[in-house]
């Protein structure tokens, strides 16, 4: 019998394939469907059959550490809401904010649109940034605030804003608010109502709005698309179109869920980031 370290509270991708991933969630192991993981699994079927069903078996929130951040995993939201595939991007945000504060001798001002469970907000706050966390869901804001408390960040400079992220950005532009780093991660819930943010319809206009919110000494703009089949090249062209005029450089690629050695990386979307050259 495999020992998955029941005393630990950390996240780990154990295996992938057959359209699913097998994940260690603290002291339990669970599996979930992930589009794109078509290859053969490496672990035997017996290991996969040990996985519990979160919606059925998880009776109370489970403490879970992903990278340097701590969360509460709930059966209702599941692992998808916590987004472990963004771990290395959280680390990048923290490093960018820390470098900005050291150079400019002032905290970075960060706008996190579609803040979700709060990973990017927590990462920025850990580096001393002042963060505006915008999310349309009251429940999501509540969860993100709980995560801030768990990470001893409740007293940091974080504004928790229940608002439509697009409308908020538009108002901020009119009010001439400015931010050093802007993060856009429009992952919509599966039961999103008609009229919710749609990548193909709404992203271009949002990027144009965001370009007017940048400070005089910006860090950059980070864009993540974890819904639909969006190519990293598409995001590259969109970011180049909107931010190329400001100089700097643009990086793009796949968002990858990474696991233990030998486990194939699982594609979870695309990203592009424009970073102003220092």
Tell me what pLDDT residue 190 has.
Answer: 52
Query: Per-residue pLDDT for the chain (278 aa), expressed as one digit of tens each?
Result: 333 344 468 999 999 999 999 999 998 999 999 988 999 999 999 999 999 999 889 989 999 999 999 999 998 889 999 999 999 999 999 999 999 999 999 999 999 999 999 999 999 999 999 999 999 999 999 999 999 999 999 999 999 999 999 999 999 999 999 999 999 999 765 545 556 888 889 999 999 999 999 999 999 999 999 977 899 999 999 999 999 999 999 999 999 999 988 899 999 999 999 999 75
Tell me what pLDDT residue 260 has.
Answer: 82
Tell me what pLDDT residue 67 has.
Answer: 94
DSSP-assigned beta bridge partners for residue 223: 184, 272
The pair of three-digit structure tokens given for residue 261, joined into one six-digit string: 């050695």
Residues in Cβ contact with 153 at an 8 Å cutoff, skipping those fewer than 6 apart:
122, 125, 126
Tell me what pLDDT residue 227 has.
Answer: 76
Q: The whole model's pTM is what?
A: 0.93
The pair of three-digit structure tokens given for residue 195, joined into one six-digit string: 């009229």
* Structural domains present in the chain: 11-82 (2.60.40), 85-275 (3.40.50.150)
Tell me what pLDDT residue 35 has.
Answer: 86
Residues in Cβ contact with 22 at an 8 Å cutoff, skipping those fewer than 6 apart:
13, 14, 15, 16, 29, 30, 31, 41, 43, 47, 48, 51
Would you say 148 and 68 are in contact if contact means Cβ atoms under 8 Å apart?
no
Distance CA 43, CA 22 (A): 9
Would you say 131 and 90 are in contact if contact means Cβ atoms under 8 Å apart?
no
């Amino acid at each position: 019998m495999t020992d998955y370290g029941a005393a630990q509270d950390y996240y780990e991708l154990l295996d992938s394939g057959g359209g699913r991933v097998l994940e260690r969630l603290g002291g339990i192991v669970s599996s979930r469907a992930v589009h794109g993981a078509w290859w053969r699994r490496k672990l035997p079927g017996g290991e996969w059959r040990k996985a519990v069903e979160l919606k059925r078996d998880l009776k109370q929130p489970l403490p879970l550490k992903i990278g340097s951040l701590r969360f509460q995993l709930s059966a209702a939201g599941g692992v998808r809401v916590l987004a472990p595939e963004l771990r290395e991007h959280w680390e990048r945000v923290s490093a960018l904010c820390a470098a900005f504060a050291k150079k400019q001798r002032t905290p970075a001002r960060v706008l996190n649109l579609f803040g979700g469970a709060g990973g990017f907000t927590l990462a920025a706050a850990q580096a001393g940034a002042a963060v505006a966390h915008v999310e349309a869901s009251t429940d999501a804001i509540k969860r993100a605030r709980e995560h801030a408390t768990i990470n001893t960040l409740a007293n940091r400079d974080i504004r928790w804003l229940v608002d439509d992220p697009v409308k908020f950005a538009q108002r901020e532009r009119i009010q001439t608010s400015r931010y050093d780093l802007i993060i856009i991660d429009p992952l919509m819930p599966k039961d999103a109502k008609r009229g919710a943010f749609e990548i193909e319809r709404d992203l271009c206009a949002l990027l144009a709005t965001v370009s007017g919110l940048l400070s005089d000494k910006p860090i950059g703009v980070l864009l993540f698309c974890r819904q639909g089949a969006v190519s990293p090249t598409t995001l590259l062209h969109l970011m180049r179109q909107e931010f190329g005029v400001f100089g700097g450089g643009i990086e793009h690629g796949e968002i990858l869920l990474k696991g233990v050695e030998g486990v194939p990386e699982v594609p979870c979307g695309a990203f592009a980031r424009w970073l102003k050259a220092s």
